[in-house]
Structure 1
Amino acid sequence: MRPTMVAALAKPGRLDRIAIALSGLCIVHCLATAVVLGLLASAGGLLGAPIIHEVGLALAMILGAVALGLGVMEHGFLLPVSVGALGLGVMAGALGLPHDGSEALYTVIGVGMVALGHRLNFLAAD
């Protein structure tokens, strides 16, 4: 280090202020980490609750049946409703799988199929 930097750090109380600031940052980091992890654990428990999945599936089935059904009546193509219904079936089947990651995987696949059915429905209406 240059002599001027050493002299600047050696001023009375400067190193103490730097140490106090670092200690304060450490406390903020530790508390923030505990709070964030606590919130994530709570949110994970809430979002992982079976009722969330069951209500979500019920809403998806109602909305899918109405939107895809109206689409078939409007344009007459069965492919969108077939793809969407298969996706809803995959989502429903995923509710019975163990919570080891396979449930989430099959739910995502089912949701993707439902979204594809709605996209096909949208394109068929044009």
Structure 2
Amino acid sequence: MGKIIPSIRQRLDRAGILLSGLCVVHCLVSILIVSALGIGGEFLFAPIIHRIGLAVALVIAAVAIGWGALRHRRAAPFVTAMMGLTFMGGALAMPHGIGEVVLTIIGVALVSLGHILNLRHAH
């Protein structure tokens, strides 16, 4: 049973890293598609997509990084990821545009780094 729990947490950390990467791709591709073709803005920039993404990131980070922090007693992964989630939340308050993209990319990069640090401290 002891091996199963770290495996679940490690999978959640990897899922968090993957989700962060997908978020960056979504941000950049959405801007390119809408700018170049002028289509898809209603769907790609829909606030509900961003709210759901942040909610999923919060849950994954809370479980994986919180669990890891309790296990390895290191604050760096937790603090890094929480700063990233704060940037992501701030991006939701901004109008669509470059400012929102910059805050989101900074946020997902920090959350991803938090998951990477969490994985490193697990070993």
- Sort the TM-score into its range (normalised by shorter chain): 0.5 to 0.7
Q: Which amino acid aligns with 2:116?
A: R
* Higher RCO by CA contacts (8 Å cutoff, separation 6 or greater): 2
Comparing 99-108 and 112-121, the one that deviates more: 99-108
- How many pairs does the alignment contain? 87
Give the CA deviation at 1:46: 0.9
- Are the counterparts in 1 of residues 84 and 111 from structure 2 also a CA contact under 8 Å? yes
From 38, 41, 50, the equivalent of 2:39 is 41
Runs of 4+ in structure 1 off by over 6 angstroms are none
CA distance in structure 1 between the aligned counterparts of 2:97 and 2:116, rounded to whole angstroms: 30
> Unmatched 5+ residue regions in structure 1?
1-36
CA distance in structure 1 between the aligned counterparts of 2:96 and 2:56, rounded to whole angstroms: 22
From 67, 80, 91, the equivalent of 1:94 is 91
Q: Structure 1 vs Structure 2: percent identity of aligned residues?
A: 45
Aligned CA RMSD, in angstroms, stands at 1.2
TM-score, normalised relative to structure 2: 0.67
TM-score, normalised relative to structure 1: 0.66
CA distance in structure 1 between the aligned counterparts of 2:104 and 2:72, rounded to whole angstroms: 28
- 1:61-96 alpha-carbon deviations (Å, 9 max, x no partner): 011111000101111101100000010011001111
Q: Which amino acid aligns with 1:106?
A: L
1:73 aligns with 2:70: yes
> Unmatched 5+ residue regions in structure 2?
1-36
Give the CA deviation at 1:108: 0.6
Corresponding residue number in structure 2 for 1:123: 120
Structure number, greater radius of gyration: 1
1:114 aligns with 2:114: no
SS at 1:41 equivalent: coil
Corresponding residue number in structure 1 for 2:52: 55
